[in-house]
A and B are shown apart, each in its own frame.
Chain A
Amino acid sequence: MNAFDYRAPRRLDEALALLQEHGPDARVVAGGTALVTMMRQRLVRPACLVSLRDVEGLDRIEATNGAIRLGALVTHRAVEVSPLIRERLPVLAETFRRVGTVRIRHMATVGGALAHADPNQDPPVTLLALDATVEIRRASGRRELPLREFFRDYYETVLEPGELVTAVTVPLLPAASGASFVKFLPRTADDYATVAVAAIVTLEPDGQRCHQARIALGSVGMTPLRARAAEAALVGQRLDEGVLRAAGAAAKTEVDPLSDHRGSAAYKREMVSVMVGRALTQAAAAARQMARGAR
């Protein structure tokens, strides 16, 4: 690794001032699982590391108005084991539980997983399906952005120099909704997925037809992405096998995977179809159960 200045402020405003001062020469570090690994491989050579590790108040999990707010420093492990999240948004706890290994989950943070913008990561996929909102701060202000507008390219987000992610807010599911997260791992349990899918299905009050669906995909494009055509194929339909299969077929036209050691592009496209079908089957079953429970 190259030599760099290391700053570990205790307050958020100090961190933001440092980022403003150092501009593009500074990188933000929290858990370090992504950045330190990239620095060790000499892929990134920052002149200054601004650590958020000692900043107070960024590691809270809070229930807010119809949503759960995760501070940027909340670790993957904290999301996995949070009783609040397990009760109110179990799909989120399950998604984080399946990232890497316990060691990595103890280190990696929610904000870091978003800012790193690796399309192979799991949490952004489920957060995208849940229509989460990202809170971004800079020395001179604050903005909020739907997560769907946050990612731009491989390892690229809309974050400007001087900005950092401070929280993500995740709305709870509406009534008569079910959620699922599935990923295909042909090699090892801690590997990145060949294809990852998160699906949210909301039924009409009658518990039969689909009112709304959100499907997000990981590892099959430059960013985590929404499968809009597949979603459209579900709305207003009874979710029988044929409809779910049609949605899977639509999803594979919306992806642009790369061939690598986790599968060829053609294979990944086919697996998108299969895994979207499986995710929807699970989400629809969960939604039916919720609809029955509510009636």
Chain B
Amino acid sequence: MTRAIRLTVNGTAHDVEVPTYRTLLDCLRCDLGLTGSKEGCGVGVCGACTVLLDGKMISSCIALAVFADGHEVTTVEGLAEDERLHPVQQAFMDAGGFQCGICTPGQVVAAKALLDANPSPSDTEIREWMLGNLCRCTGYYKIIESIRAAAAQPSRP
């Protein structure tokens, strides 16, 4: 059983015919070719699949693609503007906020969502918000440092 859905991803509208059981993550990766979001645990725990649905961060591995019908999705591919990285991405680069990189798209999207909701978070607020994004290389200090640096940027959009 399939369904025709229309979702807006990173500002572009897409019409897709999906099986009803398609997860949003698989729709993004397989139907739309946006492979930035990763599947880690597949049960909503690890955060590698973090995307924004109408601006709110969710686990796309346990969301159905049909949930996004008529809604807006933001993925890691939508953060940079042309060649200019999003300040959160730039801060992760500058502070070395990643090691192997598999969790990084989820970390970056979660960090962007945090700064959208709370432009100057305390370290405790950063830790509490980010606790659902696991880094099995355990690069947490650099990740927190990156987010702190991004928050300190005066020109952040």
Contact = CB atoms under 8 A, between A and B. Distances in A.
A29 B21 CA distance: 13
A258 interface: no
A53 B70 CA distance: 12
B63 A102 contact: no
Interface string B23-64: 100000000000000000011110100100100111101111
Given A6-B1, A190-B131, A36 B66 contact: no
A107 B21 contact: no
Interface in B49-97: 50, 53, 56-59, 61-64, 66-67, 69
B131 A2 contact: no
Interface residues of B, number: 30
Interface string A224-248: 0000000000000000000000000
Contacts of A53: 67
Contacts of A154: none
A103 B20 contact: no
A161 interface: no
B132 interface: yes
A143 B62 CA distance: 32
Interface string A48-61: 01010100000000
Give the residue among B42, B47, B56 with the most A Cβ atoms within 10 A: B56
B21 to A, nearest CB: 4
Contacts, number: 81
Contact of B43 (A2, A40, A102): A40
B66 A103 contact: no
B132 A101 contact: yes
A125 to B, nearest CB: 21
Interface residues of A, number: 29
Given A5-B20, A39-B21, A106-B57, A32 B131 contact: no
B64 A190 contact: no
Given A8-B69, A53-B67, A104 B42 contact: no
A51 to B, nearest CB: 8
A37 interface: yes
A4 interface: yes
A58 B1 CA distance: 28
Contact of A107 (B1, B3, B20, B58): B58
A189 interface: yes
Interface of B: 1, 3, 19-21, 23, 42-45, 47, 50, 53, 56-59, 61-64, 66-67, 69, 110, 113, 128-129, 131-132
Given A6-B1, A36-B62, A53-B67, 17 more contacts: A3-B1, A5-B20, A6-B3, A29-B64, A32-B62, A32-B63, A32-B67, A36-B64, A37-B62, A40-B23, A77-B56, A103-B44, A103-B59, A106-B58, A107-B59, A107-B63, A188-B131
10 contacts: A29-B64, A32-B62, A51-B66, A101-B45, A102-B57, A102-B129, A103-B50, A103-B57, A104-B59, A107-B62
